[in-house]
Structure 1
Amino acid sequence: MSINLSASRENGFTARSLRYLHEVELHGGVRAAADALGINPSVISRQVGQLESEYGVVLLERSGRRAVLTEIGMSLVEHFRESTRRDADMLAQLEDFKSLRRGRLGIGVGEGFIENLLATVLERFSLQFPDIVVEFRSGATSEIIAMVRNDDVDLGLCAGGGSDPAIRARVFRAAPFCALVSPRHALAGERRIRFEQLRDQRLIFMPERFGVQQYLDAIIRAERLSVTPSYRCDLFSAAQAIAAAGLGVAFMSTDAARQYLDAGRLVALELEHPIAREFSSQVIRRVGRRLSPAAEFLWRQLVEAMQRRWSTSARGAGVA
């Protein structure tokens, strides 16, 4: 076993002295260690002797014709080995950073997340990893989970929904789950409504694989209502455009509809139902997958951003 460390002092010990002590323990004696290192045995004896004199301890003792490490000697060897392992891990990380300054990072993203959350996170990421190509793949919640599980993307950001043993998820409260109507709609003056108030309206649903639709279906089942939508579309932007034209009622979070809401083209009516209040978002990665430094950095940034958003919205809503 060959360990290439400099002779600089660390924590009061020279790396060379600790290395020699390690080699003595590894090879079973001073002479055998010297032969393995290609040096004179007196060099090892002198270095070990200096350690013993400096700290007033016995590191080696004779056992027949062998030199055996004492308890404190073994403690120093373990210290050396642990330091060596840490050094190796850090060097591996540095090599990862060096080799992955250029590369690709895939993210599966649900509609409504890129503009409202990823935009701020990506600014910091791009400064840290300017040459990494970030590839976005959109889809419904179930599709994004499948992308992450199958390693088609590194990370996922989508509405909460379901559980998968292959997926590690950090779940957060999402922006309010609302009905979205034109400002000209008869209910536009309401702040909160019950779903029952919408049963006779022209409703815009998403496909069942979408997380928002799963929440909506759960509310409908809980209320024991029979509802037939007037439209189904697989783009949030299409649902927003239909609602803004006064042709129906769409359902999604206020984050997903932020552009239309800020422009005054839609009004958000919060759904008054326990299931709607459970609406969540999640950042996901595959269990057991070792992420690249770039992906690990983005994972931490996404989690921190989601935590900040939840803390801010919780304070605004008076949540303890």
Structure 2
Amino acid sequence: MDFRQLTYFLAIVDHGGFNRAAAALYVSQPFLSQAIQVLERDLGSRLFHRIGRRVVLTEAGTALVPRAREALHALELARASVGAVRELRAGRLEIAAMASPAVEPLSTMIQRFTERYPAVLLSLRVALTREDVVEMVRTGGCELGLLTTSSPLPSRDVVPHHVGEDRLVLVTPMDGPFPAGQAVQREQLEGHRLIVGQRGTGIRAYADDLKAQGIDVRIAVETEHRMAFLPLVLAGVGLAVVTESWADLSERAGALVLDLEPASVQHNILVSRKAQLTPAAGAFLEIAVPPAHRSSL
């Protein structure tokens, strides 16, 4: 068993099959299949059930996934440590992020990082919920993750760093039901249609909390696609409760942004693995997280 075989194995897992993995790796599908067959012989176990064109992990394959990620992470750590001697003139850093903090504060973090380390490739991966972010970091899929939360994290397998807060605001059409410049009381949302994220997001939790308090709001659209919020609001489909990081973009698109009362705050948390970080991840933390806030939550 070698690192190349583990790379091939994880590519099949991550891309959902041999054909897509082969295309991503720039190898032929027969070559990839042969490499996995050799790996399976070395391990003495089948790693995939082949069902038509689909593949499903066997029990042995499932057990191998976290160990393979750890092994490749160790190799990347060794390679990146050499790069650190050259002041990070090369390298790659994978960051998982929920949609709202990916607008801010992640954009500012990346700007500062790339100004100092322009040769390091940053790979941003989408995570729909805070649990997704934690899982991607915990299992080694990404070294860092950025999430928003209004309550304690569901896992202690990662190291959290508080990087700021975002208030929730209401986005409406310019000719919407509320006047500009006046905060909207949550009771005033009674009877209105809302565009929300899926369960597990702070935006959805806010809408569910309104219902729990007896405020009859209607869910017009539930979507994983945050960029759909603005077009739907402007089309009159419903109102959207979003984090303040979306305010500038919303106003420039022609929407009205209003404060909500009482204020509801989401915490932006950057999480890192408990294991030793690559120099690129360590450098990103140094830039992104004020010293007073490291491991503060």
Structure 2 residue 189 is matched with structure 1 residue 198:
yes
Separation in 1 of the partners of 2:203 and 2:98?
10
- Asked whether the 8 Å contact 1:96–1:292 carries over to 2, the reply is no
The 1:133/1:282 distance shift into structure 2, 3 A limit, reads same
**Structure 1 residue 306, shift from structure 2 partner:** 11
- Corresponding residue number in structure 1 for 2:198: 207
The corresponding residue for 1:294 is: 280
Output one character per residue of 1:240-294: Cα deviation in whole Å (capped at 9) or x when no partner: 2111222210111121343122x151222222135x1x322111112x2211111
* Bigger Cα Rg: 1
Match of 1:158 in 2: 147
Query: After superposition, where does 1:44-123 map in structure 2 within 5 Å?
Result: 95=82, 97-98=84-85, 101-123=89-111
TM-score where L is the length of structure 2: 0.63
Pick aligned residue for 2:133 from 138, 141, 144: 144
Whichever residue aligns with residue 234 of structure 1, its letter is: E
Structure 1 residue aligned with 2:177? 186
Q: Report the 3-state secondary structure (helix = DSSP H, G, I; strand = E; otherwise coil) of the residue aligned with 1:121.
A: helix
Q: Distance in 1 between matches of 2:227 and 2:89?
A: 35
Closer, same or farther: CA 120–142 of 1 in aligned 2, 3 Å: same
Cα distance, 1:191 vs. partner? Answer: 2.4
One-letter amino acid matched to 2:260:
L
- Select the structure with the greater relative contact order (CA < 8 A; seq sep ≥ 6): 2
- Cα contact 2:147–2:270 (8 A) shared by 1: yes
CA contact (8 A) 1:174 1:253 kept: no
**Equivalent residues of 1:177, 1:253 under 8 A apart:** yes
CA distance in 1, matches of 2:202, 2:108: 24
Q: 1: distance between equivalents of 2:281 and 2:218?
A: 42
What one-letter code is carried by the residue in structure 1 that aligns with 2:94? G
Question: Secondary structure in 1 aligned to 2:141?
Answer: coil
- Give, in whole Å, the separation in 1 of the partners of 2:220 and 2:241: 13
Q: Is the partner of 1:212 in helix, strand or coil?
A: helix
Whether the aligned pair in 2 keeps the contact of 1:172 and 1:306 (CA below 8 Å) is: no
Aligned partner letter, 1:298? F
Match in the other structure for 2:260? 271
Distance 2:81 2:93 in 1: 18
1:248 to 238, 242, 247: 238
Q: Which segments of 5 or more consecutive residues in structure 2 lack a partner in the other structure? A: 1-78
Q: Does 1:280 align with 2:267?
A: yes
Distance change >3 Å, CA 217–CA 95, structure 1 → 2? same
Describe the SS at the equivalent of 1:113: helix
Name the SS of the counterpart of 1:241 in structure 2.
Answer: helix
| Paired letter, 1:302 | A
Aligned residue type for 1:150: T
Give 3-state SS (helix, strand or coil) of 2:175's partner: coil
Give 1:173 shift: 4.5
Structure 1 residues 171, 215: CA separation in 2 closer, same or farther (over 3 Å shift)?
farther
- Aligned match of 1:236: 226
Contact 1:105 1:295 in 2 (8 A): yes
Relative distance call for 1:247 and 1:226 in structure 2 (3 A) is closer
Structure 1 residue 188, shift from structure 2 partner: 3.6
What amino acid is aligned across from residue 292 of structure 1 in structure 2?
T
CA gap of 1:190–1:257, structure 2 versus 1, over 3 A, is closer
Is 1:132 equivalent to 2:120 in the alignment? yes
Tell me by how many angstroms 1:234 deviates: 1.0
Give runs of ≥4 in structure 1 deviating > 6 Å: none
Q: Return the alpha-carbon distance in structure 2 between the equivalents of residues 115 and 123 of structure 1.
A: 12
Closer, same or farther: CA 224–283 of 1 in aligned 2, 3 Å: same
Match in the other structure for 1:60? none
- Mapped partners of 1:304, 1:144: distance in 2: 21
CA distance in 1, matches of 2:182, 2:260: 9
> How does the TM-score come out when normalised to structure 1?
0.59
Change (3 A) 1:203 1:103: same
